[in-house]
Amino acid sequence: MFSKTTFTITINPKIPSRLERLEELANNLWYSWDRATRMLFSRLDPILWGAVGHNPKAFLKRADESVLLKAAEDPTFLATYDSILSTFDSYLYEPSHQDKTNGLLLKDQIAYFCFEFGFHESLPIYSGGLGILAGDHCKAASDLHLPFVAVGLLYRQGYFLQTIDNQGKQLAIYTDSDFEDLPVTPVLHDDGSEMRIEVALPDRKVTVKIWMVKIGRAKLYLLDTDLPENSPQDRNITHKLYGGDKTMRIEQEIILGVGGVRALHEMGIKPTIWHINEGHAAFMILERARMLMRQNLEFDSALEAVAANTIFTTHTAVPAGHDHFSEEMMQTYFEPFYHDLNITRETFMALGHTVDHRDFNMTALAIRGSRTHNGVSKIHGNVSAYICRDLWPQIEPEENPINYVTNGVHVPTFLAQEWSDLFDRYLGYDWRSKMCEATFWERIHDIPDHMFWSIRQSLKSQMLFGVRDRLAEQNTRNHGSDAHLDRLLKFTDPINPNILTIGFARRFATYKRATLLFENLGWLRKIVLDEERPVLLIFAGKAHPADEPGQDLIRRISQIAHMPEFEGRLLLVEGYDLRLARRLVSGVDVWLNNPIFPLEASGTSGIKAGINGSINLSILDGWWEEGYNGHNGWAIKPGPKNMEAVLRDQEESQALYEILQDQVIPLYYNRSKLGYSPEWVKMAKHSMVSLLPRFSASRMVTEYLKNFYRPASYQHERYTPNGFEGARKIAIWKNRIRNAWNGVHIRRINMPHNRANFNDVLNFKIAAQLSGLQPEDVVMELLICRQYKKTRLNNFNRFCFKFTKIQDGNEHIFELDLAPEFCGKQEYYIRIYPYHPLLTHPLEMGMMIWL
């Protein structure tokens, strides 16, 4: 053995000046939704493109000089290059066609915080739905010209790569990213030095570096602690997404929340609208309050000022899924904050309390530190309102301030190139600016069926090619024989993709019930193994490495995939990521989703499938409950709420089998002479027409803008001038209300008889003990509704009482004269609650007394 050292040297090519703007293209995530740009790189050297995982920046550092020189002389290449740049420039620099500020103020600036972001496989800092949604939000914000920055963490390892062995065991592989290869650049001071901030953790300060990512016109700032000036442990903080223990998690959340606010401050960015996407980033509230208190505010006023322009979006449908930390841990990390915020330990801890357990809950903090809160679908909005009901103890969940915005997907990212080309031809180039116009999309019906079908088939071929490649690789690694591979790939013929193909790909969390289809294997056999009308099932997805039951699902799928009769009919593909997701959602015929109701907060993969002409077969949960219209796919009605799990799974799987055998399969195989089923095409078109305009990220971000961002800007304007006069006022008023509310009582003085005639004016008279409050501090209200159906409170008509006089020195009399507008039996309620014109939501105090 010789003792010798390996030295390495990396030679980067010199980019020819004619192609110098390739670097710009490689450093803007615009390429994640502009396929032409990605094609441009791939054309230069397809093999290298694959080897660097479709990462333009890594590609440019490794491409051969000769390849670049040749391209710089190649007129066709240059023509494409120039045309891409001109599209890029007009995207970046052309003024918006909407009004310039989108209804915001010129100085407005939105800051969006999230724990993970998924734009493209070349920036692996996402794990699943949450990250991809955040990525899509940024992309749509850029498309809409919003003044938008996002803040996250730059993970050295991101989420894991997945392989699956023959026994169905998932192997999680973590690889370090070389930041030089990622589309990120350090943020610099004017003098060219790298910007750093510091965040205090117990007994030490951690130095944090700030990186910047361009997302079209928007910017994402990523925080990184992996610096020589930090201890090895601290360098590790931003190492892994959802990797470490509780300590790691709280430190990551402090870096994101506290560090994120500091980083923006250090860069001179002054957000007026703050969006917390999921509770992980909620510590930002504390840091912002601390910064405001340096301007001489009391904590209560500072919290009001912070909350007034903060939006919190929750994404979880189970209380256990909400992040929480023990009080001991909070004490360790936040003791200095009690002093800085000038509050007691108890007051501090109370910010994170929920009724049912004593831990410090990040959702509770986020809600207390924001004034608009939302779930991510209609059902999830209701579920969240119910889960969080105790934060507004006297308000019925259906009326509390938790709202919803249903998720959407960034269409340019997830719509296959073939479709955008076809739209260019059949709908005109301006389809991109008509994303939310439902009637415009009706024109999809005008696309000739055979054209439509041939695109579906071509996307399916591409998907099958991709799946075959992955399976071949999987087979080789798992020492499978060629004969075995042949058996596996028997039904995936990309040349003739005529087998009905059903896809199921998502995180293997147990509530998603990946194995529901296997409830009754006998029935499944009958369905799948039919010689005349065969079915191919494709499964993919990752389970969190700490989630054993989730990994068991993978084992179970693998086991069934290995049963001789299912071999080749049921494929389990490893390494689910954005790339595989794009392939699968656009390529399969049917997208299956069968979570346990109501646990799918929204789900987005089905939207991606639907806009590409795949047809959804899904439990009516999350977004699908809003998207399903009776002829754009198939729906499984969830069993009644309190049904026993075993029974529920039985019933829902039975519904699934029935839909497959009676509807899906006959419809697909009812082929005309032309080789496809016209009725199938019709349904696929319905799916695109109905989903494209309603579930795009443009629609989603526009709703955030209208319902939350603009009101937040407005509230900010009302709370901040004159040294936060508004915030101080509301804080003082709230304290007054809190102190008095227990003493408030109401009793009736006069109510009408329970029979009256139409047009009669009814007099209602209520006496209130206001316990020191003034009549203008409260609203006395009557709610009335016809009794014949069960109605939600917000469907009642409301009428306000007028304060008329003080009686006996201490009772305030409120009166209402009302002539009901309907006939028949009506039900009505009378209630009182605190009111101030500066409130953001009328019921934000959570106080109400019913008569």
Ligand X SMILES: *Cc1c(COP(=O)(O)O)cnc(C)c1O
The SS3 assignment for 636 reads strand
Unique residue bearing structure tokens 């570096």: 209
* The two structure tokens encoding residue 609: 């499938």
Residue 116 sits at φ, ψ, to 5 deg, of -145, 150
CB of 605 to ligand X, least distance (A): 3
Beta bridge partners of 590: 502, 615
DSSP, residue by residue, 69-96: HHHHH-HHHHHHHHHHHHHHHHHHHSPP
Residue 768 CB-density burial (10 A; 0-12 exposed, 13-18 middle, 19+ buried): buried
Q: Out of 170, 309, 420, 605, which residue is the one contacting ligand X (CB under 6 A)? A: 605
Q: Please say which residue, 571 or 848, places its beta carbon nearer to ligand X.
A: 571
CB of 542 to ligand X, least distance (A): 8
CB of 235 to ligand X, least distance (A): 28
CA distance 188 to 195: 5
Task: Count the residues in the chain.
Answer: 851
792: left (phi over 0), alpha (psi -120 to 50) or beta: beta
Q: Please say which residue, 587 or 603, places its beta carbon nearer to ligand X.
A: 603
Q: Please say which residue, 606 or 610, places its beta carbon nearer to ligand X.
A: 606
**Residue from 110, 97, 11 nearest 713 by CA:** 110
What is the three-state SS of 473-524? HHHHHCCCCHHHHHHHCCCCCCCCCCCEEEEEECCCCHHHCCCHHHCCHHHH
Neighbours of 23 (CB within 10 A): 13
Unique residue bearing structure tokens 């804080």: 731
CB of 387 to ligand X, least distance (A): 19
Number of residues that bind ligand X (CB under 6 A): 14
CB of 576 to ligand X, least distance (A): 6
Q: Out of 84, 132, 150, 681, which residue is the one contacting ligand X (CB under 6 A)? A: 132
Q: Please say which residue, 129 or 408, places its beta carbon nearer to ligand X.
A: 129
Strand order in the sheet with 811-818: 745-750, 762-769, 811-818, 802-807
CA distance 71 to 294: 58
CB of 581 to ligand X, least distance (A): 3
Neighbours of 619 (CB within 10 A): 28
Q: Please say which residue, 400 or 602, places its beta carbon nearer to ligand X.
A: 602
Q: Please say which residue, 120 or 209, places its beta carbon nearer to ligand X.
A: 120
The two most distant CA atoms of the chain are separated, in Å, by 107
Q: Out of 102, 170, 604, 713, which residue is the one contacting ligand X (CB under 6 A)? A: 604
CB of 622 to ligand X, least distance (A): 8
Note whether 506 binds ligand X by CB under 6 A.
yes
DSSP, residue by residue, 192-243: SPBPEEEEEETTEEEEEEEEEEEETTEEEEEEE---TTS-HHHHTTTSBTT-
Neighbours of 611 (CB within 10 A): 25
Stretch that binds ligand X, among 299-307, 327-335, 376-384, 604-612 (CB under 6 A): 604-612
Angle at the Cα of 498 from the Cα atoms of 494 and 503, rounded to 5 degrees: 80
* The two structure tokens encoding residue 399: 């009326």
CB of 773 to ligand X, least distance (A): 47
CA distance 608 to 697: 11
C-beta separation of 67 from 45 below 8 A: yes
For residues 677-716, which are near ligand X according to CB under 6 A? none
Q: Please say which residue, 177 or 605, places its beta carbon nearer to ligand X.
A: 605
For residues 173-212, which are near ligand X according to CB under 6 A? none
**Residues in CB range of 644: below 8 A, 6 or more apart:** none
CB of 541 to ligand X, least distance (A): 8
CB of 215 to ligand X, least distance (A): 17
Note whether 513 binds ligand X by CB under 6 A.
no
The SS3 assignment for 624 reads helix
Q: Is the peptide bond before 598 cis (omega within 30 degrees of 0)?
A: yes
C-beta separation of 28 from 21 below 8 A: no
Question: Alpha helices of 537-641 — where are they, by DSSP H?
Answer: 548-562, 578-587, 605-611, 623-627
- Position 586: which residue type? S
Note whether 603 binds ligand X by CB under 6 A.
yes
Q: Please say which residue, 508 or 708, places its beta carbon nearer to ligand X.
A: 508
Stretch that binds ligand X, among 53-61, 220-228, 240-248, 603-611 (CB under 6 A): 603-611
CB of 839 to ligand X, least distance (A): 35
Note whether 621 binds ligand X by CB under 6 A.
no
Q: Please say which residue, 527 or 581, places its beta carbon nearer to ligand X.
A: 581
- Position 716: which residue type? H
Q: Please say which residue, 129 or 834, places its beta carbon nearer to ligand X.
A: 129
CB of 695 to ligand X, least distance (A): 12
CA distance 519 to 656: 10
Q: Please say which residue, 605 or 687, places its beta carbon nearer to ligand X.
A: 605
Q: Please say which residue, 253 or 577, places its beta carbon nearer to ligand X.
A: 577
Stretch that binds ligand X, among 216-224, 296-304, 322-330, 600-608 (CB under 6 A): 600-608
For residues 112-131, which are near ligand X according to CB under 6 A? 128-129
DSSP summary character for residue 537: E
CB of 688 to ligand X, least distance (A): 17
For residues 552-581, which are near ligand X according to CB under 6 A? 576-578, 581
In this structure, is the dihedral angle defined by the CA atoms of residues 514, 520, 522 and 523, taken in order, positive or negative? negative
* The two structure tokens encoding residue 676: 């496809």
**Residues in CB range of 215: below 8 A, 6 or more apart:** 28, 29, 30, 119, 135, 138, 139, 142, 150
Note whether 375 binds ligand X by CB under 6 A.
no
Stretch that binds ligand X, among 173-181, 436-444, 598-606, 729-737 (CB under 6 A): 598-606
C-beta separation of 114 from 131 below 8 A: yes
CA distance 672 to 683: 15
Q: Please say which residue, 56 or 595, places its beta carbon nearer to ligand X.
A: 595
CB of 438 to ligand X, least distance (A): 23
Q: Please say which residue, 128 or 168, places its beta carbon nearer to ligand X.
A: 128
Q: Please say which residue, 330 or 607, places its beta carbon nearer to ligand X.
A: 607
CB of 505 to ligand X, least distance (A): 8
CB of 606 to ligand X, least distance (A): 6
In angstroms, the Cα distances linking 671 to 219, 530, 675, 676, 822 are 49, 16, 6, 4, 54
CB of 407 to ligand X, least distance (A): 9
Q: Please say which residue, 134 or 256, places its beta carbon nearer to ligand X.
A: 134
Q: Please say which residue, 506 or 716, places its beta carbon nearer to ligand X.
A: 506
CB of 607 to ligand X, least distance (A): 8
Q: Please say which residue, 116 or 287, places its beta carbon nearer to ligand X.
A: 116
Contacts to ligand X by CB under 6 A: 128-129, 132, 506-507, 576-578, 581, 603-606, 608
